[in-house]
Amino acid sequence: MHYFSQILNKYRYKVKKKLLSNIDISKDANYEFASKLRKSGFAKIKEFNKQNENARKIISFFKEFKSSKDFEKELNKDNDYDRYKYRSHLTKYFDKSLLTNYAEDNFFLDNVEQYFGTKPFVRVIDAWLDRPVEKKFENYSQNYHRDSDDYFLIKTFLCLNNINEDNGPFQYIEGFHLNPWKNISNDHSSFQVERELYPQNEVISVTGNQGDLYAADTNGFHKGKSLINGYRCLLTVHYVSKYPKNDFLKDKFIY
């Protein structure tokens, strides 16, 4: 049954790519970000806030916000929803127009369109805070998985604070965005993915400074590493095709 399911998923993937995508890979030379994504499924830009005005404004706001009582409240919040016990959403504290301008910046739209070979659309904008949780809640967020939003899928992440090995770096299996129909279970342990399924592939563990940007085709295997201490704050934007697998949300802002 698993074999036939995999064949069906591969067929759907190939058909949708052929119908919607018109990629001219020769133009990748003009889109370094898209080129990196195509090669490994992952790309990073250091100090993106110094290159992009909207990112600069977002980081400037966050520097002030993290000294506020609202931030302290979110940091110490006890989330009743076990699946996301580790997370608080900060989107409501940001200026929506600023977040929209950031998400629809030509840098993102142009590079993602070059990667997709079709016009991208913003499905989600979300600023969040992650914190350490008890071991029994970690499995909800820390297992390797592939996202199912769309066959055309890029998620960007702007680091709102410094991220190191202790406060939960993003981890990605390089190159496995190319076959999203394989091993689609979302319950793979780190050992299964890193040692059994893909032992020859590099595990990219993303640390970064405030203002750094990274992006990934999350059809590939990825996870957020368990936080040991501190907190992780990110602004993420999800780009999909005109006809995503999961419908567009009524409100793209996540609260």
pLDDT of the residue at 78: 83
230 burial type by CB count under 10 A (0-12 exposed, 13-18 middle, 19+ buried): middle
Closest CA to 215 of 101, 99, 48: 48
DSSP string, 153-218: EEEEEEESS-B-SSS--EEEETTTTS-TTSS--S-B-HHIIIIII-TTS-EEEE-B-TT-EEEE-T
Q: Are 154 and 115 within 8 A, CB to CB? A: yes
pLDDT score, position 122 = 99
- Domain residues of the chain, as ranges? 2-240
- Tell me the DSSP string of 101-138: HHHT-HHHHHHHHHHHTS--EEEEEEEEEE----HHHH
Among the four given CATH numbers 2.40.50.140, 2.60.120.620, 1.50.10.20, 1.10.150.120, the one describing domain 2-240: 2.60.120.620
| 73, two tokens | 């409240």
**What are the pLDDT digits (tens) for 109-148?**
999 999 999 999 999 999 999 999 887 676 555 678 889 8
Report the pLDDT value the prediction gives residue 250, as an integer from 0 to 100.
96
Question: Low-confidence residues of the chain, pLDDT below 70?
Answer: 1-3, 82, 136, 138-142, 182-201
The pair of three-digit structure tokens given for residue 6, joined into one six-digit string: 């995999």
Helix 96-103 to helix 53-65 angle, to the nearest 10 degrees? 140
Q: Confirm if 173 and 220 have CB atoms less than 8 A apart.
A: yes
Q: How far is 13 from 222, CA to CA, in rounded Å?
A: 19
